[in-house]
């Protein structure tokens, strides 16, 4: 993520938190910044070691900030990667789907109504009430499909 986009994302996060009456503290802001700056999924301990370049810190520091950011929908957790990524459209709560390229590591966030719909329908058939639908598709992105795999 380039500096301009980053600035915008942070400003938007500030605004959203203010609106919601929750506190985007310097720590939380810092973690959000690191996640966004990475531009790809980043692990909690990677965040931690970057924070440690400037100050002492321990795992709970990072996990607490991440918990807050996840609650606010400012970042997403990719369960299959044990890694976190900035949300591309935090304005409204939503359930996203992720396309994860196993080759280059890039991740695309989708908000596809037809996926959400088919999930809802299938769940409803069994009387199941979804609260958090996780959709992470591992595969090969368009770019990487064109060229031979790295390595």
Is 67 in a helix, a strand, or coil? Answer: helix
User: Which one, 27 or 95, has the nearer CB to a copy of itself?
Assistant: 95
Is residue 43 within 8 A of residue 31, CB to CB? The reply is no
Alpha carbon distance 66, 71 (integer Å): 8
The torsion defined by the Cα of 84, 65, 87 and 51, in degrees rounded to 10, comes to -60
Q: Is 5 in the site for a copy of itself (CB under 8 A)?
A: no
User: Which H or E run includes 127?
Assistant: none
User: Which one, 1 or 57, has the nearer CB to DNA?
Assistant: 57
Is residue 67 within 8 A of residue 32, CB to CB? The reply is no
In the set 55, 92, 125, 151, which binds DNA (CB under 7 A)?
55
User: Which one, 87 or 116, has the nearer CB to DNA?
Assistant: 87
Q: Is 151 in the site for a copy of itself (CB under 8 A)?
A: no
User: Which H or E run includes 10?
Assistant: helix 3-20
Q: Is 76 in the site for DNA (CB under 7 A)?
A: no
User: Can you give the binding site for a copy of itself, defined by CB under 8 A?
Assistant: 79-80, 97, 99, 101-102, 108, 110, 112, 114-115, 117-119, 121-123, 126-142, 145
User: Can you give the binding site for DNA, defined by CB under 7 A?
Assistant: 22-23, 25-28, 43-46, 55-61, 63-65, 68, 82-83
């Amino acid at each position: 993520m380039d500096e301009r986009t980053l600035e915008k994302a942070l400003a938007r996060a500030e605004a959203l938190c203010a609106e919601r009456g929750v506190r985007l503290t310097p720590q939380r802001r810092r973690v959000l910044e690191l996640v966004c700056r990475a531009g790809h999924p980043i692990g909690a301990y990677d965040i931690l070691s970057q924070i440690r370049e400037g100050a002492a810190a321990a795992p709970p520091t990072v996990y607490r900030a991440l918990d807050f950011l996840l609650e606010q929908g400012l970042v997403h957790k990719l369960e299959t990667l044990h890694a976190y990524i900035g949300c591309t459209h935090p304005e409204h709560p939503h359930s996203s789907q992720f396309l994860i390229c196993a080759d280059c590591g890039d991740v695309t966030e989708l908000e596809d109504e037809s996926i959400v719909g088919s999930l809802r329908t299938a769940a409803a058939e069994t009387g199941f009430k979804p609260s958090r639908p996780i959709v992470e598709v591992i595969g090969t992105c368009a770019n990487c499909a064109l060229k031979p795999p790295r390595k």
